[in-house]
Amino acid sequence: MKFKISEHIADIKPYEAGKPLREVEQEYNISNVIKLASNENPIGFSPKVYDAVKKHMKDMNRYPESSACVLSNKLAQRFHVSPENIVLGNGSDDIIALLAHGFLNPGDEALMPQPSFLMYEISVKTAKGKPVMVPLTDFSTNLEGLVKKISTKTRMIFITNPFNPTGSTITYDEFNEFSQKVPEDVIIVVDEAYIEFVRDDAVFNSLKIPLQDPRIVTLRTFSKAYGLAGFRVGYGIMDPEIAEILNRIRQPFNVNTLAQEAGVAAIGDEQFLNKSIQTTHESLDFLFDELSNLGIHCLPTQSNFFMMDLKKDATKVFEKMLQLGIIVRSMKSYGFDTFIRVNTGTKKENIAFIAALKKVLKK
In a domain, 186, yes or no: yes
**% of the chain at pLDDT higher than 70:** 94
Q: Stretch 70-79: mean pLDDT, rounded?
A: 97
Please say which residue of 220, 239, 268 terminates a domain: 268
pLDDT for 122: 93
Q: Is residue 156 part of a domain?
A: yes
Q: Is residue 52 part of a domain?
A: yes
Give the model's pLDDT for residue 23: 72
Mark whether 279 and 232 lie in a shared domain. no
What pLDDT sits at residue 19? 63
Residue 8 has pLDDT above 80, yes or no: no
Quick one: which of 339, 290, 295, 294 has its CA closest to 316?
A: 339
> pLDDT for 216-253, tens place per residue?
999 999 999 999 999 999 999 999 999 999 999 999 99
Tell me whether residue 1 is in a domain: no
Q: Are residues 281 and 250 in the same domain?
A: no
**For residue range 295-340, what is the model confidence (pLDDT) as tens digits?**
999 999 999 999 999 999 999 999 999 999 999 999 998 999 999 9
**Integer Cα distance of 338 and 346 in angstroms:** 25
Residues 167 and 248 in one domain: yes
* Per-residue pLDDT at 1 exceeds 60: no
> Average pLDDT, stretch 336-353?
96
Q: Both 56 and 102 in a single domain?
A: yes
Q: Are residues 158 and 288 in the same domain?
A: no
Q: Are residues 30 and 80 in the same domain?
A: no
pLDDT exceeding 90 applies to what percent of the chain? 88
3 in a structural domain? no
**Confidence check: pLDDT of 24 > 80:** no
Whether 2 maps to a domain, the answer reads no
pLDDT greater than 70 at residue 190: yes
Looking at the fold, whether 103 and 135 belong to one and the same domain comes out as yes
Domain C-terminal end among 268, 302, 331 = 268
C-alpha dist (Å) from residue 240 to 172, 184, 286, 337: 24, 16, 43, 43
Instruction: Verify that 263 and 292 share a domain, yes or no.
Output: no
pLDDT number for residue 129: 95
The pLDDT of 170-183, averaged and rounded, is 98
Give Cα 131 to chain centroid, integer Å: 19
Tell me, yes or no, whether 194 and 98 share the same domain: yes
Please count the structural domains in the chain. Answer: 2
Q: What is the mean pLDDT of residues 173-195?
A: 97
Q: Are residues 29 and 136 in the same domain?
A: no
For residue 76, pLDDT beyond 80: yes
Say how many residues make up the chain.
363
In a domain, 5, yes or no: no
**pLDDT for residue 29:** 65
The domain boundary, picked from 268, 287, 321, lies at 268
Contact call for residues 341 and 304 (beta carbons, < 8 A) = no
Confidence check: pLDDT of 96 > 70: yes
- Provide the whole-model pTM: 0.92
pLDDT class of 3 with cuts at 50, 70, 90: confident
- 40 and 52 share one domain: no
CATH of the domain at 177: 3.40.640.10
Residue 147 pLDDT > 90, yes or no?
yes
Indicate the average pLDDT of the chain.
Answer: 93
Residue 347, domain member (yes or no): yes
d(CA 326, CA 33): 6
Question: Are residues 63 and 35 part of one domain?
Answer: no
Query: What is the CB neighbour count within 10 angstroms for residue 200?
Result: 10
Domain that holds residue 186: 47-268
Q: Domain holding 328: CATH number?
A: 3.90.1150.10
